[in-house]
Amino acid sequence: MLGSLDDFNKILQIGVKESPAAAAAGAGSYSAAAVADATAAISGYKKGTGDELVVYQKVSIGTGAQAGNPWLQELPDPISKATWDNYALISVTKSKELGITLNADHEYYPEKPVLEITVGGTTMKLPCLVIPGMNANTIAVALGYGRNEETGKAAAGVGQNAYQFTSYNGSNVEYHVTGVSVKNTGSKYKIAQTQIHNSYEGRIEVLRETTMATFKKEPNVIPEWREELKEEYHNNANGDFNEATLYPQHDQPGLKWGMNIDLNSCTGCGACVVACHAENNVPVVGKREVLRYHDMHWLRIDRYFVSDATDKDPDNLKGVVFQPMLCQHCDNAPCENVCPVAATNHSMEGINQMAYNRCIGTRYCANNCPFKVRRFNWADYTGADSFKNNQDQSLVGKLDDVIFQMNDDLTRMVLNPDVTVRSRGVMEKCTFCVQKLQSAKLDAKKAGTVLPDGSAKTACQTACATNAIVFGNIHDKESAINKVREENDQRKFYVLEQLHVLPSISYLAKVRNTDEVIEGKHHVAGEKHEGMPASTKPEETH
């Protein structure tokens, strides 16, 4: 059907499957009549008044068929970073029209303005999220919400049903509608987002992204910067790296696990986040707890909007960068030295590990983690606690029903028996799926071989559709992880490398495929916004 492998690759490349018959019939021929017809058809297309409303499927919930899955309800949307809701996405321009002030309060408080959207006879009140880069007059609402009890406990009562905005034109269901009128009702509604700040503030140590043209012009910016940093450290440490830290270096005689994440490949879909939930028994906490910043994702995807601070049009978005963020398994980990009871420590394979039984929950490790990847069991999310009736709090921190759904005897059967279920008051975080690594090592031992590269895989790596995550033993010179790192030296960076925490995860910079050349030392779009938080620029959301 698709022909040879070459043909298939070609189709993928150009994105269209050309019909050989059609190509033979009128390949390349210009027909003025056909163009005129097309123009007429376009101009004849009914022009609506007012705004256009687009109904779309979220990556997590889809048409609504997946609405009953708590993992997917709690998976933050790749762009909006919101959980447990649907909402109207509007542009910055539109928000100004509606009189929404995008100041610090708008960013920091979860209460978002509620819009009244009227299409024909249908009126719906939906909270809105302002997303730069939206078309000025387009409003987008996700499908699959507003389900009833029969759909399942997780889906019931979450969001509102946007199918009312779709229509049937005789042959197709139309997922967009024009002539929409929007009104700001003045009331507010809480949306649980896992990330509220949208810009990386020009912090090049956190995130490296550039354009193709810039990268071609000066491909060695990152390695040169890293070299400078190293030299500086070397000099400050009396010419001996071991002296750059007070603590002794870890001895890693055998394996040393490392990961590489290619930001160019990452689409932000969140499959890795859900895979991590499933593999590691990461609890679902429900909307109320996400609102209180108690979400438990071991692995999250940081999403940053890239736009030019000097650009007059705030909706002129240059790009979106997704950065999967998980425990960096630092070899000089700031979390390890602050734990009074040594509950978090370093394994001989370079894994920063948690001894849950030992943890007393001082939360110092989480405060001291520059990547903020540690997650604390603020309440008894798993029902694993020995305290009786400790999930019935009513005054403060009431838990959502979905937590209990995940605790019942049947649902508990989804738990991975190889992974401890954590109790309340314990810190947890990414383990590099140590149980999977262990099983791979045992398999190799049984087979009497050296651990073959690629046999130990993390859950996030397995789930990644674009192979953005590469994982392996960095002591194995032939391993894929080492190859990726070597081959991509010009894009390779470690997050916050200047802190000398020595992360085990490397990232490959995002290169946006545009011809724009970014000037300036560090090639940050719009140059460095000299520490500009949203609070000082009330008109900015990005």
Q: Which residues between 493 and 522 bind other proteins (CB under 8 A)?
A: 495-496, 499, 501
**Rounded CA separation 426/362 (Å):** 9
**Nearer Cβ to other proteins, position 260 or 391?**
391
Q: For other proteins, which residue of 225, 371, 471, 493 counts as binding (CB under 8 A)?
A: 371
The answer to whether residues 505 and 328 touch, using CB atoms and an 8 Å cutoff, is: yes
Q: Which residues within the stretch 10-29 sit at the binding site for other proteins (CB under 8 A)?
A: none
Q: How far is the CB of 313 from other proteins (least distance, A)?
A: 22
Q: Does the footprint of other proteins cover residue 393 (CB under 8 A)?
A: yes
**Rounded CA separation 378/294 (Å):** 7
Q: Does the footprint of other proteins cover residue 201 (CB under 8 A)?
A: yes
Q: Does the footprint of other proteins cover residue 339 (CB under 8 A)?
A: yes
**Rounded CA separation 537/287 (Å):** 29
Q: Does the footprint of other proteins cover residue 359 (CB under 8 A)?
A: yes
Contact range with other proteins by CB under 8 A, out of 1-9, 160-168, 337-345, 504-512 = 337-345
What end-to-end distance do the CA atoms of the chain give, in Å?
46
Q: How far is the CB of 201 from other proteins (least distance, A)?
A: 5
**Nearer Cβ to other proteins, position 149 or 392?**
392
Residue type, 164: Q
Q: How far is the CB of 424 from other proteins (least distance, A)?
A: 4
What are the strands, taking DSSP E only, across 120-212? Answer: 122-130, 138-142, 167-168, 173-174, 176-190, 192-193, 209-211
Q: Does the footprint of other proteins cover residue 263 (CB under 8 A)?
A: no
Q: Which residues within the stretch 127-166 sit at the binding site for other proteins (CB under 8 A)?
A: none
Q: Does the footprint of other proteins cover residue 406 (CB under 8 A)?
A: no
Q: Which residues within the stretch 104-123 sit at the binding site for other proteins (CB under 8 A)?
A: 104, 108-110
Q: For other proteins, which residue of 75, 100, 206, 259 counts as binding (CB under 8 A)?
A: 206
Residue 113, φ and ψ in degrees, nearest 5: -65, 145
Residue 132, φ and ψ in degrees, nearest 5: -65, 145
Q: For other proteins, which residue of 83, 86, 91, 199 counts as binding (CB under 8 A)?
A: 199
Tokens encoding 102:
């995008």
**Nearer Cβ to other proteins, position 101 or 393?**
393
Torsion angle of the four alpha carbons 112, 117, 122, 125, in this order, in degrees rounded to the nearest 10: 10
Ramachandran area for residue 43 (φ above 0: left; ψ -120 to 50: alpha; else beta): alpha
Q: For strand 344-346 and strand 352-354, is the pairing parallel, antiparallel, or unpaired?
A: antiparallel
Q: Does the footprint of other proteins cover residue 396 (CB under 8 A)?
A: yes
**Nearer Cβ to other proteins, position 22 or 395?**
395
**Nearer Cβ to other proteins, position 412 or 537?**
537
Q: How far is the CB of 423 from other proteins (least distance, A)?
A: 8
Q: For other proteins, which residue of 87, 200, 432, 494 counts as binding (CB under 8 A)?
A: 200
Number of helices and strands in the chain (H, E): 16, 22
The answer to whether residues 122 and 185 touch, using CB atoms and an 8 Å cutoff, is: no
Tokens encoding 487:
């081959």
3-class DSSP state for residue 487? helix
Q: How far is the CB of 383 from other proteins (least distance, A)?
A: 12
What are the strands, taking DSSP E only, across 247-314? Answer: 257-262, 300-307
**Nearer Cβ to other proteins, position 378 or 404?**
378
DSSP state of 333: -
Q: Does the footprint of other proteins cover residue 236 (CB under 8 A)?
A: no
Residues touching other proteins, count (CB under 8 A): 71
Tokens encoding 36:
């005129």
Q: For other proteins, which residue of 377, 458, 473, 504 counts as binding (CB under 8 A)?
A: 377
Q: To 5 degrees, how large is the angle CA 353–CA 357–CA 360?
A: 95
Q: Does the footprint of other proteins cover residue 380 (CB under 8 A)?
A: yes
Q: How far is the CB of 266 from other proteins (least distance, A)?
A: 14
Residue type, 529: H
Q: What is each CA distance from 408 to 72, 134, 403, 404, in whole angstroms?
A: 18, 42, 9, 6
**Nearer Cβ to other proteins, position 190 or 483?**
190
Q: Does the footprint of other proteins cover residue 237 (CB under 8 A)?
A: no
Q: For other proteins, which residue of 197, 234, 441, 485 counts as binding (CB under 8 A)?
A: 197
